[in-house]
Structure 1
Amino acid sequence: MQSFHLKGMFLLSLLIISILHRTNSEQLTANNHVFLFDPPSLTVAVDHNTTATIQLVSEQDEPVNVSFVYGLDRSPSTDYIQPLKPVHFPRHLAPMQIVLQISGRRPGHLIVGCNATPSLNNNLTERDFLRINIARSTKLNRLINIVGWLYFAAWSCSFYPQIVLNIRRQSVVGLHFDFLAFNLLGFFCYSIYNIALYSWRDVQDSYRKSHPHGVIPVLVNDVVFGLHGFIATLITIFQCLFYDRSTQRVSYITSILLVLSVLFLTITTIVTAVGRMDLLLLIYFYSYVKLIASCIKYIPQAVMNRRRRSTEGWSIGNVWLDFLGGILSLIQMVLLAINYNDWSSIFGSITKLGLGIISMGFDLIFLVQHYILYKNTKKQEHGYQVLDNNEQPTSSIPT
Structure 2
Amino acid sequence: MILRRTILLTYQINEQFKHLTREYHIEKQLNNDLINETYIRMGPIDVHANIGDVASFEVYLSKPIDEPIEITFQCDPKCNTFDIGDLTNITLDRDHMKATLNFTAIYAGHDTILAFIENNRSMDKFNLDYAFVRIRVGHNQFLGILGIVFGWIYFFGWSISFWPQNITNYKRKSVVGLNFDYTILHFTGFLFYSIFNLSLYFSSTVQDEYEAVHPRSEIPVELNDVVYSLHAAAVTSITWTQCMIYERGDQRLSIYGKLFQLCTWSVGSILLVLCFFKVVTWLTFIYYFSYIKLVVTGVKYLPQVYFNFVRKSTAGWTIWMIYLDIVGGSMSMLQMLTIAYNYNDWTTLLGNLPKLGLSFASIFYDIIFLLQEFVFYPNTNNPKMIKRASILTNLSRRRSTLKNIDNSYDHLCKMDSSISSSDSSNVNNTNESSNNAPSFMVHK
In structure 2, stretches of 5+ residues that fail to align are 1-27, 394-444
The residue number in structure 2 matching 1:66 is 71
> How do 1:191-340 and structure 2 match up within 5 A?
191-340=194-343
CA displacement 1:236-294 (0-9 Å, x = unmatched): 11222222111112111110111100000000011001111111111111111111111
For residues 33 and 279 of structure 1, do their structure 2 counterparts lie closer, same or farther at Cα, with a shift above 3 Å needed? farther
Offset, 1:356:
1.1
Residues of 2 paired with 1:100 and 1:260: CA distance?
55
Q: Which residue identity lines up with residue 383 of structure 1 in the other structure?
A: L
Specify which structure has the bigger relative contact order, considering alpha-carbon pairs within 8 angstroms and separated by 6 or more residues: 1
CA displacement 1:127-167 (0-9 Å, x = unmatched): 32100100011111011111111100100101111111111
1:345 is aligned, of 324, 345, 348, to 348
Aligned alpha-carbon RMSD (Å)? 2.0
Offset, 1:92:
2.2
In structure 1, stretches of 5+ residues that fail to align are 1-23, 385-399
2:112 and 2:132 in contact (8 A); partners too: yes
The residue number in structure 2 matching 1:30 is 34
Residues of 1 paired with 2:143 and 2:38: CA distance?
37
Deviates more, 1:233-242 or 1:191-200: 233-242
1:49 and 1:101 in contact (8 A); partners too: yes
| Helix, strand or coil at the partner of 1:383 | helix
| Helix, strand or coil at the partner of 2:72 | strand
2:49 and 2:137 in contact (8 A); partners too: yes
Give yes or no for the alignment of 1:148 onto 2:155. Answer: no
Residues of 1 paired with 2:146 and 2:209: CA distance?
33
CA displacement 1:165-200 (0-9 Å, x = unmatched): 111211111111111111111111111110111111
Residues of 1 paired with 2:367 and 2:38: CA distance?
53
> How do 1:320-399 and structure 2 match up within 5 A?
320-377=323-380, 378-379=385-386, 380=388, 382-383=391-392
CA displacement 1:16-35 (0-9 Å, x = unmatched): xxxxxxxx99x954364621
The residue number in structure 2 matching 1:8 is none
The residue number in structure 1 matching 2:167 is 164
The residue number in structure 1 matching 2:91 is 89
For residues 79 and 270 of structure 1, do their structure 2 counterparts lie closer, same or farther at Cα, with a shift above 3 Å needed? closer
Residues of 2 paired with 1:278 and 1:219: CA distance?
22
Offset, 1:363:
0.8
| Helix, strand or coil at the partner of 1:54 | strand
Q: Which residue identity lines up with residue 305 of structure 2 in the other structure?
A: A
Give yes or no for the alignment of 1:139 onto 2:145. Answer: no
1:63 and 1:91 in contact (8 A); partners too: yes
1:63 and 1:88 in contact (8 A); partners too: no
Identical-pair percentage? 32
Offset, 1:79:
4.5
1:44 and 1:103 in contact (8 A); partners too: no
The size of the alignment, in residue pairs, is 354
| Helix, strand or coil at the partner of 1:196 | helix
Offset, 1:124:
5.4
Q: Which residue identity lines up with residue 252 of structure 1 in the other structure?
A: I
| Helix, strand or coil at the partner of 1:338 | helix
- Point out the structure with max Rg over C-alpha: 2
The residue number in structure 2 matching 1:391 is none
Structure 1 segments, 4+ long, off by >4 Å, are none
| Helix, strand or coil at the partner of 2:391 | coil
1:60 and 1:91 in contact (8 A); partners too: yes
| Helix, strand or coil at the partner of 1:382 | helix
The residue number in structure 1 matching 2:47 is 42
TM-score, normalised relative to structure 1: 0.84
Residues of 1 paired with 2:93 and 2:40: CA distance?
15
For residues 90 and 374 of structure 1, do their structure 2 counterparts lie closer, same or farther at Cα, with a shift above 3 Å needed? closer
For residues 79 and 344 of structure 1, do their structure 2 counterparts lie closer, same or farther at Cα, with a shift above 3 Å needed? closer
The residue number in structure 1 matching 2:185 is 182
TM-score, normalised relative to structure 2: 0.76
Offset, 1:342:
1.4
2:40 and 2:127 in contact (8 A); partners too: no
1:42 and 1:131 in contact (8 A); partners too: yes
CA displacement 1:344-370 (0-9 Å, x = unmatched): 221111111111111111111001101
